[in-house]
Amino acid sequence: MKELIGKSISKLQELLASKQVKAKEVCDAHLNHIDRLDKEIFAFNTVTHGLARKQAELVDQQIAAGDKLGKLAGIPIALKDNICLQGYPTTCSSKILANFMPPYDATVTKRLFEQGAVCVGKTNMDEFAMGSSTENSAFKPTLNPWSLMGNGNKKLVPGGSSGGSTASVAAGFSTVALGSDTGGSIRQPASFCGVVGMKPTYGLVSRFGLVAFASSLDQIGPLGRTTEDVAITLSAIAGHDSHDSTSLPEPKVDFLSDLKKPIKGLRLGIISELLGEGIEAEIQEAIKKAIETYRSLGAKCDQVSMPNLKHALPVYYIIATAEASANLARYDGVRYGLRDKESKDVLSMYYKTRQAGFGAEVKRRIMLGTFALSTGYYDAYYKKAQQVRQLIKNEFDQAFQKFDLLICPTSPSVAFEFGAKTSDPLSMYLSDIATIPANLAGIPAVSLPCSFDKQGLPIGLQLMGPALSDAKLLQAAFAFESTTNFDNQPPPALLTKV
């Protein structure tokens, strides 16, 4: 039933509640869509046909019995392949975890299922979430669904590292998806694929069951075609978790309650350092038009200077690689995952297992991080980076004394072609120049579609707010979305391939 593809959560639940369709029909429509089109896009590492149909049948039984339904009852969702799903592969798109089956569900997975979500699969990603294009997957790169448009069929990246989750939403394989964001891995692909992606406040969503990359930066967050879908999903997964020592002791919040309130009087700071050199001209113009839209909605918009943001990229690549070096030490061929069976001693087994199991980008970051933590260099690199990180956080705190939210582009460019930046790691790292600061400061940020370039490719707008301003961020995003309707312009994968 192709008319079920691309529908919002609220529209699907209206159909289910009125018994116009069954959850199993919704599930089968999405699974069939995946089976037809994912051979071109490769959004999924694993499609969970049996699990999805079992969950959909349970929702149908609840509807027939007149039971109270969860926030996501019957809604197709996808999980990034670094989020644990009991009994199914959680590979992080790495050879070293190719056969790993977690013995438990992540907290977010449990919470989705408690709300009736239907899991259609585990999505492709940059290996161990290290990348900005999903070209670093050990299995196969994911194609941006906007590649399937009438522009010569260029092979465009979906962004990364949550490229599979984002492509799943953009192509209509799932209504919503979960990704992880360490330096922009939800927001940057959301910008490239024309969907809404949110990095919540650090600690608002449990990381228990998320395979760690950089523990002080990682955060799970939702992706959806609309802000409302993201708000509903965040309401389902947010909240304190005793299994996660970094989980905030905050009460559960309904992020829908204030979503549709007007934003007149909102104080919006325009980050001047992220709206100039290095940002494509078309993106600068799109953000300026978005600012005018906010002014028309009653927001007060003024420039704010944050000079320390120029240090965010090097600070991130010291801290993130150092934490990755420590976190990835556990993949040694002894406890789980890949193991070289030809080695005759422990040291050679370690060496050969990691040599065969890790890809080039993961090895690069492990070596960078190990160097930054090594004797004689710790103070000069890691300690100094942490000090500058505090300066960046202080700068955000000062900005939020004057402004409610900050605005800038999500990415300095639109989606680029496969191979365009793989030979130049620094050029690839610069793709996250506007998203990294929010992770360093631990603040929430959201990306939403705000325009299209001359090729017809999506451009993303980023909003950032102080810690625990997640509801206000979503409110501001919804106000813009309601005025512009960029969410109603789906990629060709939805228009011509269903």
**Model confidence at 152: pLDDT above 70:** no
When pLDDT is averaged across residues 136-158 and rounded to a whole number, the result is 85
337 Cβ contact list (under 8 Å, min separation 6): 96, 97, 98, 99, 100, 331, 357
**Model confidence at 240: pLDDT above 60:** yes
Q: Tell whether 404 is covered by a domain.
A: no
Collapsing DSSP states into helix, strand and coil, what is residue 461?
Answer: strand
pLDDT of residue 422: 86
pLDDT of residue 493: 66
Q: Tell whether 430 is covered by a domain.
A: yes
The Cα-based distances of 180 to 105, 218, 324 in angstroms read 16, 7, 15
Q: Tell whether 300 is covered by a domain.
A: no
How far apart, in whole angstroms, are the C-alpha atoms of residue 231 and residue 474?
7
Both tokens of 484, joined, read 């512009």
Q: Are 413 and 435 in contact (CB under 8 A)?
A: no
CATH number for position 454: 3.90.1300.10
DSSP H helices, 358-469, are 360-373, 384-402, 425-429, 436-441
N residues, the chain: 498
pLDDT of residue 495: 60
Q: pLDDT per residue over 179-213, tens digit each?
A: 999 999 999 999 999 999 999 999 999 999 999 99
Number of separate helices (H) and strands (E) present in the chain: 16, 11
The secondary structure of 75-90 as a DSSP string is -EEEEETTB--TTS--
147 Cβ contact list (under 8 Å, min separation 6): 153, 154, 155, 156
Q: Which residue has the higher pLDDT, 199 or 351?
A: 199
Of 35-39, 149-153, 413-417, 429-433, where does mean pLDDT reach its minimum? 149-153
Collapsing DSSP states into helix, strand and coil, what is residue 224?
Answer: strand
DSSP H helices, 266-311, are 281-296
Catalytic residues: 80, 161, 185
The number of domains in the chain is 1
Q: Tell whether 57 is covered by a domain.
A: yes
Q: Tell whether 266 is covered by a domain.
A: no
- Confidence band (pLDDT; 50, 70, 90) for 496? low
- Confidence band (pLDDT; 50, 70, 90) for 118? very high
Q: Which residue has the higher pLDDT, 491 or 259?
A: 259
When pLDDT is averaged across residues 306-327 and rounded to a whole number, the result is 97
The residue with tokens 């993961």 is 362
Helix (H) or strand (E) holding 271: strand 267-271
Give the type of residue at 459. Answer: I
pLDDT of residue 335: 83
Query: Structural domain of residue 190, as residue ranges?
Result: 2-261+415-496
- Confidence band (pLDDT; 50, 70, 90) for 340? confident
- Confidence band (pLDDT; 50, 70, 90) for 362? very high
Q: Are 386 and 319 in contact (CB under 8 A)?
A: yes
| Average pLDDT for the chain | 95
Q: How many C-beta atoms surround the C-beta of residue 33 within 10 A? A: 25
**Model confidence at 22: pLDDT above 70:** yes
450 Cβ contact list (under 8 Å, min separation 6): 286, 287, 289, 290, 459, 460, 461, 480, 484, 486
Q: pLDDT per residue over 49-71, tens digit each?
A: 999 999 999 999 999 999 999 99
Q: Tell whether 376 is covered by a domain.
A: no
Q: Are 256 and 232 in contact (CB under 8 A)?
A: yes
Dihedral Cα 471, 223, 415, 315, nearest 10 deg: 60
Q: pLDDT per residue over 459-486, tens digit each?
A: 999 999 999 999 999 999 999 999 997 7
Q: Tell whether 236 is covered by a domain.
A: yes
**Model confidence at 487: pLDDT above 80:** no
- Confidence band (pLDDT; 50, 70, 90) for 337? confident
Q: Are 70 and 306 in contact (CB under 8 A)?
A: no
When pLDDT is averaged across residues 263-269 and rounded to a whole number, the result is 98
12 Cβ contact list (under 8 Å, min separation 6): 4, 26, 74, 75, 175
**Model confidence at 332: pLDDT above 80:** yes
pLDDT of residue 115: 98
Q: Tell whether 278 is covered by a domain.
A: no
